[in-house]
Structure 1
C-alpha cells in the first residue's frame, strides 16, 4: 500500500511544491536519448513529472503508479501519456524501449516485491530494451542528514521530518504536514538500503545484464544510477 504522502488527496496536491526542482530528471531524459528510446514506461510515476517531460519530446509514454491520488494529479497534467493505476507486476503487454524508475522508488520495495517488480519490468521491455533507476548508497548514510532536517513551510503547509528507526538495511521516517485549518496528516515510510552488489545480483537473477553503473550527476557520491538491459 502506498504511503500517505503519495496516496492522500491533500498531500498529493502539494507534493510537487515540496519535491522542488527536479534536477534529477535531466539524467533520465538524457539516457532516453542515449539509448534511442521511442517508447518509455515510467514505474512509480507519481505526479507525472518525468512522464510529461518524455511525452513533450514526442515519445510514447506510459506511467504507472499504485497511488491513485498522485495519478490523478498526473492525469491532469498531460493527456498524451497513458496513465495506469497499478504497479509493474500487473501491466498489460508493452514491449517498450526503456523503463525508468526515478526518485529512489527502488527503495520502497522491502522484500520479495523488489524482485517481483524487476521481473515485471523485464516483461515490459522489448528484447534489448533498457532499464534505468537510482538508489541511495548505504555507505553515504543519508538518514543522518534527515535527522538534522529542519521544518519548512511551503504553500501555507508546514512539513516536519522525523527519523523513527534505523535498523539496517531498513530506515523508517515520518513526515508530518500541518495545514492552515489545523489539520495534521502523518505519513510514515520505510526504505530499504541495498548495496551495489545486492542490486546487481538481483538484476541478474531477474534476467538483466548490467550495462553501466554511474554516479548520480545531481547528487554526486550519494546515489548509484543503474542501467540494465534485457
Structure 2
C-alpha cells in the first residue's frame, strides 16, 4: 500500500523500540532551555507541545498553575511520555493539530523539526489550527532547517552497528534530494540483532526558505516576531546559518 507523505510520517515512531532510540538520539539541550525560556517570558498559563514525541521537553514545561498539553500521533511515543517522571502532570492527546482547542493556548511549541514533518497542506492546516488555538497575543515557537545548507547530503549512512538501551542494532539511512516542493525522503532501516526484527521507515521532511516560512505564517494570521539563527536568538542570515528558530504571535 502506498502512503501519502503525511501518512508515512504519522507512523514513523509508532514502535516502542524506535521510541526508545529516539530518546537516546535526541537528548535535552539548548533547544529545551530555549522553549522553557519562551514559556516563562510569555507567562504562559496553557502550553501546547505539538508533536511532543516522548515528552522529554513537555514534562519540564509543567508546573503549578500551568496547564501543559502534549499532542502526538504515535501511541508508542505517548506511552513513553505518559510513564516518564512528571508525565502525570501533562494532558496527553493522541492525534494531530486538529486537537488544539479554540483559544486554548498562550503558547504552542513545535520541537525536534516537527515543522519539517508537516508536508504541504498538512503544514498550512496545522498553522491554521495553531492560530485558532492561540489566545489573542498568544505565541508560536519552532525550529526548521535552512535549505541553503543542503543538510540532506550528509544524512546517508552505510549499515552501522551500535549498542543501545534496547540491545545492539544495525542502522542504515538513505535520502533523496528535495523535490520541487523542497521535500526530502529519508529511508531508515533498523535491525534489532537480539531477535532479528527489522523496521523500515520512510520519513518526509520539507525544507522551507526564510521567505516561505514568513509568508506561510502571515497567511495563517500569525505575525513574525523574529527568526533567529540559534537558541540564543542570534541574527539569521540565509547564506551563513543552518538553523532557523521562528517566533510568531497571533494578532
TM (norm. structure 1) is: 0.91
Instruction: Determine if the alignment matches structure 1 residue 141 to structure 2 residue 155.
Output: no
Instruction: Determine if the alignment matches structure 1 residue 207 to structure 2 residue 221.
Output: yes
Per mean C-alpha deviation after superposition, the further-off stretch among 194-203 and 171-180 is 171-180
Distance apart, 1:192 and its partner CA:
0.7
Q: Which residue of 1 aligns with 2:238?
A: none
Q: Which residue of 1 aligns with 2:208?
A: 194
Contact 2:223 2:249 (8 Å CA) reproduced = yes
Per mean C-alpha deviation after superposition, the further-off stretch among 9-18 and 36-45 is 9-18
Q: Which residue, 120, 124, 127 being the options, matches 1:115?
A: 124
Q: Which residue of 2 aligns with 1:34?
A: 41
Contact 1:143 1:163 (8 Å CA) reproduced = no
Q: How do residues 45-84 of structure 1 correspond to structure 2 at under 5 angstroms?
A: 45-56=52-63, 59-77=66-84, 78-84=87-93
Structure 2's unaligned 5+ residue stretches are: 1-6, 235-240
Structure 1's unaligned 5+ residue stretches are: none
- Superposed CA deviations along residues 156-182 of structure 1, whole A, max 9, x for unmatched, are 232524223113311111222221211
Per mean C-alpha deviation after superposition, the further-off stretch among 48-57 and 144-153 is 144-153
Distance apart, 1:39 and its partner CA:
1.7
Are the structure 2 counterparts of residues 33 and 91 from structure 1 closer, same or farther at C-alpha, using a change threshold of 3 Å? closer
Instruction: Determine if the alignment matches structure 1 residue 223 to structure 2 residue 246.
Output: no
Q: Measure, in 2, the Cα distance between the counterparts of 1:159 and 1:103.
A: 23
Partner SS for 1:106: helix
Partner SS for 1:110: coil
Contact 2:172 2:190 (8 Å CA) reproduced = no
Instruction: Determine if the alignment matches structure 1 residue 124 to structure 2 residue 137.
Output: no
Are the structure 2 counterparts of residues 161 and 142 from structure 1 closer, same or farther at C-alpha, using a change threshold of 3 Å? farther
Distance apart, 1:201 and its partner CA:
0.3
Are the structure 2 counterparts of residues 10 and 97 from structure 1 closer, same or farther at C-alpha, using a change threshold of 3 Å? same
Q: Which residue of 2 aligns with 1:157?
A: 168
Q: Measure, in 2, the Cα distance between the counterparts of 1:16 and 1:164.
A: 22
Q: Which residue, 3, 10, 13 being the options, matches 2:17?
A: 10
Q: Which residue of 2 aligns with 1:173?
A: 186
Q: Measure, in 1, the Cα distance between the counterparts of 2:161 and 2:111.
A: 24
Instruction: Determine if the alignment matches structure 1 residue 182 to structure 2 residue 196.
Output: yes
